[in-house]
Structure 1
Amino acid sequence: MTDPSRLDPELRKRLLQEARTPWRSLRRALWFALFASAAVGAATMAMRGASGGLVPLTDLGIQVAALLLSAVLIWFDRNRET
């Protein structure tokens, strides 16, 4: 077994951070993908509405809720130590 004091301090810091927040980069990628998807949907609905097409209020509400939820997920999953 390796003596913890012999580990590189930077590696030890990264390993401890990963132990506190496992799968963080994968989660962040998922949150950004959800945010991008919701943004594309909202932009599509905005263009449809601007061109005079009918945009149901329920569909618009779902898109806005998805956009806000994904933004909140990104916000809460941020790095608070910096």
Structure 2
Amino acid sequence: MVCLASAVDEQASRMHRDVQAPLIDSLTALGVEGPVATAELINAVVHAATLQLESGHDLDQVRALLASMLGPLVRELGGSGALP
């Protein structure tokens, strides 16, 4: 049973790294200090938004919150910060 749990933990860790790698690469290319730590914080905000949606919060409200949280960073890095 321990081997199965270890394998599942390793798979989850690998999937997490695979999902974060493009964000870390982009943050690195943009010259963000601490791209790994920044990506972890962004991931935490996105995860919280996912939990809000799963618990029934309104999509437009969650999108607005994401824009208010992440928009300033995006604008600082040269993007518009606007959601499509």
> When the two structures are superposed, what TM-score results if normalisation uses the length of structure 1?
0.33
> When the two structures are superposed, what TM-score results if normalisation uses the length of structure 2?
0.32
Q: Which has the higher contact order (CA 8 A, sep 6+)?
A: 1
Structure 1 or 2, whichever has the larger Rg, is 1
